[in-house]
A and B are shown apart, each in its own frame.
Chain A
Amino acid sequence: MHLVIIGNGAAGITAARTARELLPSARVTVISDEPGPAYARCLIPEVLAGDRDPRSISFVPPGFYREHRISLLSGRLVVSLDAVGRRLTLEDGETISYDRLLVATGASPVLPDWPGADLPGVFTLRTVAQAATAGEAARRCASAVVAGGGLVSLKAAWALKRCGVAEVTVVVKSPHLLVRQLDEQGAALVQRELSRAGIKFLFGLDLAAITGGAGGRRQVELEDGRTLPAGLVLVGKGVRPNVQLVRRAGGRVGQGITVNERLETTLPGVYAAGDCVEVQDLLTGAKTNSALWTLAVEQGRIAGCNMAGRPRRYSPPLTRLYAAQFGSVPFVSVGDVRGDGETAAFQKDRVYRKLCFREDRLVGFIMVGWVERAGIYTALVRRGRPLGRLKQKLLDGTVSAADLMVMK
């Protein structure tokens, strides 16, 4: 039995480890177009900042692949998938046969089609190699423009500041930062912290073009005609799932690769997991792309089990689970925080909390400045049961896991 996994990220490595443990006799091969062992992708902003070197963010201990008898083909790009012949073709022409395949190809950053978006000095942030190159460039720059107000953009802006870039401006189309995660009040606390670090913000408009090459003076043109000097441009406008291999092989694709509850694609013997798949949000039922580390690990484990012949089901997950800290301001945002139903918000100095309810259920929450016991709220969102008497405890902020245990 030859199990082949495309992708050496959170999903791929978890699946490989799981399958290896369950099926000691199988051959397990992991293929990745990135060089080297698996690394903690979420930590690449620290590589950009120069706080860590690429080797120090490894996600597996040294000797991992040898000990687990996983053959790693790194630096190798898979260019096509023949689902009928159960065969992959690599860029260099080599073909690899499989019995079961996992597609864990992740996602790629969206690069808008602004004129000049392909100029040197314009970066996205997805791989450790990009982070290292952007970091080197940043150390020679006096100014940088970051496009986008999401988590990756803000982590990048923070890192650029740490590189010593004097002027860092974040250009945000939305009216406030982190629109996916926070409301105006919560975002203001995060923005305050980033501003204290010297980062500047422009809201309500986008980039229009980037001009000037490596030699000339690079500039960013904004939608309102203004220009900003930009020694470096970093684009954080979200990601798109890597579905091409499956689509070209005839597999179904929606918001990501379509999978059933066993994480099988519509191609026989082909599974998919991680950022490349489509999931159904537990709360809204909406189909969306999976774009979280946690989900990639869970799916990787379940796909690994199924590939190894141990059937396991994957049920609709919470697709919004965010936690981070900027400066001294931590925050957590979980579930549906749009707040179009009943909400309760509390603010005291630099601590902000918002609970979002629907029909006596907690459907989402935001915590900024203080995140203790956030997991209990997450558990309540996940459970989705009527709160009854517990609601008062939630409003008082005194709810504990003990309450969940006695809750029927």
Chain B
Amino acid sequence: MKEVLVNAERCLGCRSCELACAVAHSDSKNLLSALGEEKKPLKRIFVHQARDKKIPLSCRHCEEAPCVDACITGAMHRTPEGVVTNVGGPAECTGCWMCVMVCPYGVIRSDKERRLAVKCDRACLDEVEEPECVRACPTGALVFAEVDDYSRDRRQRFLVCLARSMDTSSV
């Protein structure tokens, strides 16, 4: 499965990914009209500063995703394509925030009014099957690739699953 890989060395913190993500999740899918929408679209990727690094973070679509385990309704699920999402699944999200509580990346937001957890849903893939955040990245800090395509040391430069290293319940 393809993942959004992050090369923090290349991130300048320009937030183009954040903007592209928000627009892709707006009703109009257009920056100017999105600005006028009554309910402002929510981005699902966040550029953070840690020490001297800038790191864009979005859902890693973890293999044994803590948010899926924690979901009390059954809404949060993994699609056959490997996308972890709480929309279009076997049940409805009721906004209980269990997923927000357990996501170690902090990339699931809480829309209190709609009682809906909001996260990367890969609903933004374009005609070449690339997510909008990756497409918008001008420096190549974000790459959408099959993880196995990367040699071990190359992969080292990218951030891999934090959840796995932090998960105390697995082997």
Contact = CB atoms under 8 A, between A and B. Distances in A.
A375 B101 contact: yes
A316 B169 CA distance: 7
Given A325-B112, A402-B53, A293 B98 contact: yes
Contact of A371 (B55, B66, B74, B101): B101
A150 to B, nearest CB: 16
Contacts of B102: 294, 321, 375, 378
Contacts of B103: 375
A57 B73 CA distance: 7
B100 A43 contact: no
A379 B72 contact: no
A325 B96 contact: yes
Given A293-B70, A297-B69, A401-B106, A60 B90 contact: yes
Contacts of A400: 46, 48-50, 57, 106
Contact size class for A? 35 or more
A267 interface: no
A372 B101 contact: no
Contacts of B48: 400-403
A320 to B, nearest CB: 11
B100 A59 contact: no
B105 A61 contact: no
Interface of B: 46, 48-51, 53, 55, 57, 64, 66, 69-70, 72-74, 90-91, 94-110, 112, 115, 159, 162, 166, 168-171
B73 A43 contact: yes
29 contacts: A40-B72, A40-B74, A40-B91, A57-B91, A61-B90, A293-B98, A294-B69, A313-B171, A317-B169, A321-B101, A322-B101, A323-B100, A324-B96, A325-B96, A328-B112, A330-B97, A332-B97, A371-B110, A374-B101, A376-B106, A379-B166, A382-B104, A401-B104, A401-B106, A403-B48, A403-B50, A404-B104, A404-B162, A405-B162
Most chain B CB within a 10 A radius of its CB, from A42, A317, A375: A375
B104 A294 contact: no
B150 to A, nearest CB: 18
B11 to A, nearest CB: 10
A312 interface: yes
A373 to B, nearest CB: 4
A226 B73 CA distance: 40
Interface in A103-122: none
Interface string A301-344: 11000000000111111000111110010101010000000000
A214 interface: no
A235 B108 CA distance: 34
A406 B72 CA distance: 32
A371 B128 CA distance: 36
Contacts of B74: 40, 58-60
Nearest to A403: B50
A106 B110 CA distance: 30
A337 B169 CA distance: 22
Contacts of A294: 66, 69-70, 98, 102
B170 A312 contact: yes
B17 to A, nearest CB: 14
B96 A401 contact: no
A322 B102 CA distance: 10
A128 B36 CA distance: 44
Contacts of B159: 405
Most chain B CB within a 10 A radius of its CB, from A41, A321, A330, A405: A405
A383 interface: yes
B106 A371 contact: no
